[in-house]
Amino acid sequence: MSEDIWAGIRERVLRLAERPGSDKVFGARGHGFRLGPVMREEQLQALEAALGVGLPAQYRSFLLRVGGGGAGPYYGLMTPAVGDGGWRWRGIGLACPAQSTGAELAGRPFVAEVLQRELDVLENEEPKRDACTAEDAFRHAYAAWDARYEELYDAQEAGAVFLGS
């Protein structure tokens, strides 16, 4: 892929904040047309090592040439950042930071489609109050069902990264 597709993009995005009416663009109040610093090759290699997989070439190129996050569609792009807990994609500088994604979860195999089938089955097994003779029995059955539902729902995020908010 040619690096030229990103030529001048960073500068153009940063200049958008100076244009009349830029504050009226959807999401601009959140990202303010700011961009995170471009990443260094060593940082990307460390991130990919934490993931256990390489990043897609276009995203990698974007991080190296345009910036690590900030201005983007809707409320902005998440920023890969390393901290005490390792690498995470965070809404750094965004008014609406969305959900942070850790490299440990993002580096797992993508299994959302398989889990969706399990969720569909589980939804049909949701406990019904009128099927239980006692309120305590219903609450216990529902709590167990809900815990499994949340576990499967959250597990769908494996192998994915929230890039935008």
pLDDT tens per residue across span 1-49: 556 889 998 899 889 888 898 888 887 887 888 888 899 999 999 998 8
* pLDDT for res 164: 75
* pLDDT for res 69: 85
Q: Which two tokens stand for residue 132?
A: 């239980």
Q: Which two tokens stand for residue 14?
A: 């940063």
Where do the H-state alpha helices sit in the chain?
9-16, 28-31, 41-51, 57-65, 103-106, 112-124, 135-155
- Give the list of residues 6+ apart from residue 153 with CB closer than 8 angstroms, or none: 119
Asked if residue 39 lies in contact with residue 62, where contact means CB atoms within 8 angstroms, the answer is no
Asked if residue 94 lies in contact with residue 164, where contact means CB atoms within 8 angstroms, the answer is no
pLDDT over 90 (residue 64): yes
Does the pTM exceed 0.85? Answer: no
40 SS3 class: coil
Distance CA 87, CA 84 (A): 8
